[in-house]
């Protein structure tokens, strides 16, 4: 097997048929295997779950495609379309809303030029709002990848996004 086929692909790239085959050859899906674990590995590699890969898994494992899609849609961790390198999650819950969460959401939309559920054209950011991030005491709350930013303000979020665009990571103090 050509090793270059198994290297992680850029989030912007659609994986080729050969890349999918190479990865599945490596992961060896089987009817008795752990489907969720397999899907996680696939997503770790491609950044999302490409439809042709799900078809291939169905063929190789003989698990009906409808069941595979049932699992994929049940778990919020799985994505069926390409995602940005960074995920910005903003809480739209009540505690955050009453403390200015709406303004923060609008600031993110304006800064990135995208709406809830969308990804920037350069595949840098995916933005989504969620019902609660489980950190209501810190409201309004934004999560950048796995980092919580509490007591968020439009100005602070602009600064965080600016640092990510410039350096690829969050460099400012947060919480
Ligand atoms: S309501 Fe925003 S974190 Fe809970």
> Tens digit of pLDDT for each residue in 24-54?
999 888 888 899 999 999 998 998 999 999 9
Adjacent-strand bridge partners of 127? 88
User: 117-172: per-residue pLDDT in tens?
Assistant: 999 999 999 999 999 999 999 999 999 999 999 999 999 999 999 999 998 666 64
Mean pLDDT of the 6-11 span: 44
Tokens matching residue 136:
């209501």
Q: Is position 105 within any domain?
A: yes
Calculate how far, in angstroms, residue 150's C-alpha sits from the geometric centre of ligand 1.
Answer: 10
Calculate how far, in angstroms, residue 19's C-alpha sits from the geometric centre of ligand 1.
Answer: 40
Final residue in a domain of this structure, among 26, 43, 74: 74
Q: Is position 96 within any domain?
A: yes
Query: Which among 133, 118, 125 is positioned nearest to 164, based on CA atoms?
Result: 125
- Give the global pTM: 0.72
User: 85-125: per-residue pLDDT in tens?
Assistant: 899 999 999 999 999 999 999 999 999 999 999 999 999 99
Pocket test for ligand 1, best of 98, 103, 141, 175 (most atoms within 8 A of CB): 141
For residue 143, CA distances in Å to 24, 41, 52, 93, 158 come to 32, 23, 31, 14, 14
Looking at the fold, whether 56 and 113 belong to one and the same domain comes out as no
- Residue 131's domain comprises 86-167
Ligand 1 in reach of 136 Cβ (< 6 A): yes
């Amino acid at each position: 097997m050509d090793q270059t086929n198994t290297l992680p692909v850029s989030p912007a790239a659609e994986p080729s048929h050969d890349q999918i085959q190479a990865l599945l050859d490596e992961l060896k899906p089987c009817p008795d295997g752990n489907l969720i674990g397999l899907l996680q590995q696939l997503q770790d590699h491609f950044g999302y779950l490409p439809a042709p890969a799900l078809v291939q898994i169905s063929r190789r494992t003989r698990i009906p495609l409808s069941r595979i899609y049932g699992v994929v849609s049940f778990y919020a961790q799985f994505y069926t379309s390409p995602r940005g390198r960074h995920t910005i999650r903003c809480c739209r819950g009540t505690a955050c809303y009453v403390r200015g969460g709406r303004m923060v959401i609008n600031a993110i939309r304006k800064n990135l030029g995208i709406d809830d559920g969308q990804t920037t054209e350069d595949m840098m950011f995916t933005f989504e709002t969620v019902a609660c991030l489980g950190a209501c005491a810190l409201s309004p709350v934004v999560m950048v990848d796995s980092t919580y930013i509490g007591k968020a303000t439009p100005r602070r979020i602009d600064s965080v996004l600016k640092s990510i665009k410039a350096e690829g990571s969050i460099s400012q103090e947060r919480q």
